[in-house]
Structure 1
Amino acid sequence: MNHNVNEEKTENPTEHRIKKFRKTGKTKYSRELNSLLILFFGFITLWWYKDSIVSRLIKIMSDSFSFDKKIILNNDYNLLNFLTYLKEISLIFFPFFVVLLCVVLIPPIFLSGIAMNFQSLHCSFNKLNPLNGIKRIFAIETIIEFIKITIKLVLIMSLSYWYLYTSVSEMSVLIYENFSSSLLHGFKILFNCCTVIIFGLIPVALFDVCLQQFKYYKQLKMTHQEVKDEFREKEGNPSIKVRIRQEMKASVRRRMMLDIPKADVVIVNPIHYSVALKYDEQNMHAPKVIAKGVGAVALKIQMLAMQNKISIISAPSLARSLYRYSDIGQYIPGPLYKAVAEVLAWVWKVKKWKKEGGVFPEKPKNILVPSELNFKGDR
C-alpha cells in the first residue's frame, strides 16, 4: 500500500500510539529540568548538613596536622589513617549522594513517564556506520542541544563571576577568622553563589520543558492514514477476519452434518429451512438442536436424514422459529416445548409403526407456535 509521505499529521495520538512511544523510550523528558533539580536538592542537602560537614572536616584536618613518630616509622599506620579519613569523608557526603541518587531516578519516572527500555540495548551495526554519526552531528536537534549547552555555560560563568566579583571584600576577611568560622562563612558564600546560579537556570529549564513537550506531542501526532493502519492492525485485516469466519462456519457445518444421523426428527419448511432435533429422556431435560440450515444446507440436511431413515415433518412456522431462536448444541426455547412435543409424539408413533406395522400414523397438523416466537422469515 502506497502512503503519502507528505501527509500532514493532524490527528490526535491514540492510547496505543502513546504506549508504543513509551516502549521505544520516546518521552517528554527534560534534561535541563532534571539538572536543575539535581543542583537544587544537592545544595539544599549540603546546606542542611553543613554543621556536621564542617565539624568532621575540622576533625580530619586537625588530625592530619598533628605529627607523630608513628606516621614516619609505620607504613601500616599511614594506611590505617588513610582508610579512616576515607571513611569519614564517605560519611560526610553519604546523605548528599543518597539525595542525589533519588533526584536522578525519581523525577524522570514520575514527571516524564520514562519506562525501562531494553530495545535500545540490542546490537545494531548501523550504529557503527560513520555516515550515520556525521548525520547525527549536524542534525537540527544536535545543533539545538549545542546551543542550549553553550547558553547554559555562559550563563553559569557570568552569574558566578558576577557574584564572586561582588563578594571579593567578603571573601578577603576569611583569612582573619578562625578555622571553623571561616569554613562556615565560606559555605555561606558558596551557597549564595549556587542559589544565584539556580535562579538563573530556571528560565533555561522552563524553556526546555516547553520545547520537549512541543517536540513530544508533535512526534505523537498521527496522519489519517496512520490512524486507519493502526485500527486495521489492532482489529485485524477485514479480509482475513472474513476468511477466518468462513473457515469457522465450514468447520461447524462439517461437524453438524456428522451429527445428523443421531437426530430423532428433522422439521422442515419444506425446503427453505431444516432443523434436526434430538431428545433423550434419560439424559436431557428438553430436546436439543443438533443441526440447522437454510437453502442448500437445508436440502443437504434432509437428504442425510432420508439416507439414515430419520423422520422428516413439514411444519413451516415451527421450523422458522426453531431456526431463528435456537442455537446448535443448545436446548430449544421453553415456549416451543408444546409444539415440539406434538412432533416428538408423532416420531414415537412412527418408531412403533416401524416395529409393529399397521396404519402409518397421521402427521400432526396446524402446529401452533407462540406469537412472540412466530418468525416469518424472508422466504
Structure 2
Amino acid sequence: MAESESGQDKTEDPTEKRKQDSREKGEVARSKELNTLAVMLAGAGGLLIYGGALAQDLLEIMRLNFSLPREVLLNNGSMIQYLLHSGKIALMAVQPILTVLLIAAVLGPISLGGWLFAGSSLAPKFSRMNPASGLKRMFSSTALIELLKAFAKFLIVLCVALSVLSSDIDDLLRIAHEPLEQAIIHSVQVVGWSTLWIACGLLVIAAVDVPVQLYQSHKKLLMTKQEIRDEHKDQEGRPEVKQRIRQLQREMSQRRMMAAIPEADVVITNPTHYAVALKYDPEKGNAPVLLAKGSDFLALKIREVAVANNVLLLESPALARSIYYSTELEQEIPAGLYLAVAQVLAYVYQIRQHRAGKGKRPDPLKDLPIPLDLRRDS
C-alpha cells in the first residue's frame, strides 16, 4: 500500500482532476516493450510485403554499379551521376518499409495512453544531474524490475532466435547454391519471417509489461483522503476564502447602499431596531424602490446618514418591519404595501409643503393598512 509524504496511506482512486493534471505533465502509462513490438512487427511485415521489390532494386543497383562501360570509368563526372541514380533507386526501394516503420513508431506509443504532447516534459530537470539521485534510481526497485525485464527479454528473444535459425537451417544452406538473384530474394524472405517470429516472441513480454505499466501508473496516482478533501476545497473554494469574499461583497453593498440614502424620499424606522429608505420616481410611474435597509447598528448608521442629508425620518414600526423582510435592495415594494407607502409619501409631501410655508402641518400617521401576510411581529 502506497504512502504519502505525510505518512497517510494512498487508498483512494484518483479524481478526474488528478488524472488530467497528470496528463498535462506527461505522466501517463507507457510501455517500451509495446513500442518495440509494434516496430518489430511492422518491420517484419514490411520485409515480407515489399521484400521482393527491395531485392529487385538491390539487384538493379548491383548490375548498374558492377557492369560499368569503359567510357564511364574514364570519365570522373559520370561517377556522380551513377551515385545519384543508385541513391534514388535505394531511396525508392526502402521508402515503403520506412513508411510502415514510421506509422508503427507513431501508433505504438499512442495505443497505450493516447496522443499526448507535454511541453513540461521537455524542460531540463537539474535533479537528474544529482549523483545521489542517480545512484538512488540505479538501486531502486524500479531499476531492479527493468533489469529483470531486460534479462527475460534477452532469454525469450534468444530462445526464439535459436528455434527460428534451427528450423531455417536448410533454407540458409540452400541459399549458398542458388543463383544470385534468387538468393537475394530468398534471403530477404528468410530475414522477414525470422524477424516476424522473433517479434511474436516479444508478445509475451508486452503482454506482461502493459498491465504492469497500467498498474504502476494507477498506483502513482492514488490519493489520500486528505488530498481528496484539499482538492475538493480548491475546486469549490476554501471556506475561509469564500467567507472573506462574502464579507467584501457585503461591505461593497453597504457602501453603495449608504451612498444612495441621500436620494431617498423617506427613511421609515422601528424606531431603533430597523430602518428602511424608500425612493419614488413619479416620472417612471413605478412603485417605490428600497434604497437601503438595516437592523440594529446598521439601522443607526442609516438614520445618521439620513439626518445629515435632511432626509425625513418617519417612525412606523410595523411598516418598517414589513418592508425590511419582504423587499430586497433596489427592488420595488410588494403590491400589498402600495397603499400604506402611498400614505407615507403623501405625508412626506405635506411635511415638505409645511416646511416651505405652503400648508399646515399634517396629522401624524396612524394605523397604516398592512396586509396580514406581510406583517412581522416585533
Give CA deviations for 1:150-183 in whole Å, capped at 9, x if unaligned: 2212211221121112211122222333344333
State the secondary structure of the residue aligned to 1:357: coil
Offset at 1:216?
Answer: 0.9
1:255 is matched with 256
Give, in whole Å, the separation in 1 of the partners of 2:233 and 2:30: 31
Q: Secondary structure at the match of 2:291?
A: strand
1:58 is matched with 59
Q: State the one-letter code of the partner of 1:12.
A: D
Alignment partner of 2:9: what SS?
coil
Q: Which amino acid aligns with 2:212?
A: L
- The percentage of counterpart residues that share the same residue type is 33
Residue type of the partner of 1:30? S
Aligned-residue offset at 1:375: 6.2
**Would you say the 8 A contact 1:43–1:191 is kept in 2?**
yes
Query: What residue in structure 2 maps to residue 301 of structure 1?
Result: 302
Partner of residue 370, structure 2: 368
TM-score by length of 2: 0.89
2:215 corresponds to: 214
Range moving further from structure 2, 336-345 or 272-281: 336-345
Give the distance between the partners of 1:19 and 1:298, measured in 2 at CA: 51
Q: Structure 2: which amino acid aligns with 1:90?
A: L
Counting matched residue pairs gives 374
Do the aligned partners of residues 200 and 91 (structure 1) sit closer, same or farther apart at CA in structure 2, a change above 3 Å counting? Answer: same
Pair 170,348 (structure 1): closer, same or farther in 2 beyond 3 Å? same
Provide the secondary structure at the position in 1 that maps to 2:278.
strand
Moved more, 142-151 or 340-349: 340-349
Give the partner amino acid of 2:376: K
Of 222-231 and 103-112, more deviation after overlay is shown by 103-112
User: How many Å separate the matches in 2 of 1:65 and 1:93?
Assistant: 21
Q: Is the 8 A contact 1:11 1:222 kept in 2?
A: yes
Asked if the contact 1:279–1:286 (Cα under 8 Å) also holds between the matched residues in 2, the reply is yes
**RMSD of Structure 2 on Structure 1 (CA):** 2.5
Q: Report the Cα distance in structure 2 between the residues aligned to 1:284 and 1:214, rounded to whole angstroms.
A: 71
Whether the aligned pair in 1 keeps the contact of 2:39 and 2:108 (CA below 8 Å) is no
TM-score, length-normalised on structure 1? 0.89
Q: What whole-Å deviation, never above 9, does each CA across 1:72-93 have from its counterpart, x for those lacking one?
A: 2223322222222222222222
CA drift at 1:335: 5.1
Q: CA deviation at 1:64?
A: 1.9
Partner of 1:359: 361
User: Is the contact made by 1:350 and 1:361 (CA closer than 8 Å) also made in structure 2?
Assistant: no
For the structure 1 residues 59 and 301, does the alpha-carbon distance in structure 2 shift closer, same or farther, using more than 3 Å as the test? same
Of stretches 337-346 and 218-227 in structure 1, the one that deviates more from structure 2 is 337-346
Q: Secondary structure at the match of 1:176?
A: coil
Asked whether the 8 Å contact 1:271–1:295 carries over to 2, the reply is yes
Aligned to 1:187: 188
Change (3 A) 1:172 1:138: same
CA deviations on 1:183-215 (whole Å, 9 max, x unpaired) are: 333233222212221221112101111101110
**Which position in structure 1 is the counterpart of 2:21?**
20
C-alpha contact 2:30 2:109 (8 A) present in aligned 1: yes
Listed as ranges, the matches of 1:159-238 within 5 Å are: 159-238=160-239
Mean CA deviation greater in 286-295 or 200-209? 286-295
Shift of 1:218: 0.7
Distance change in 2, residues 1:265/1:98 (3 Å): farther
Residue equivalent to 2:37 = 36
Question: Displacement, 1:144?
Answer: 1.2
Within-5 A mapping of 1:68-87: 68-87=69-88
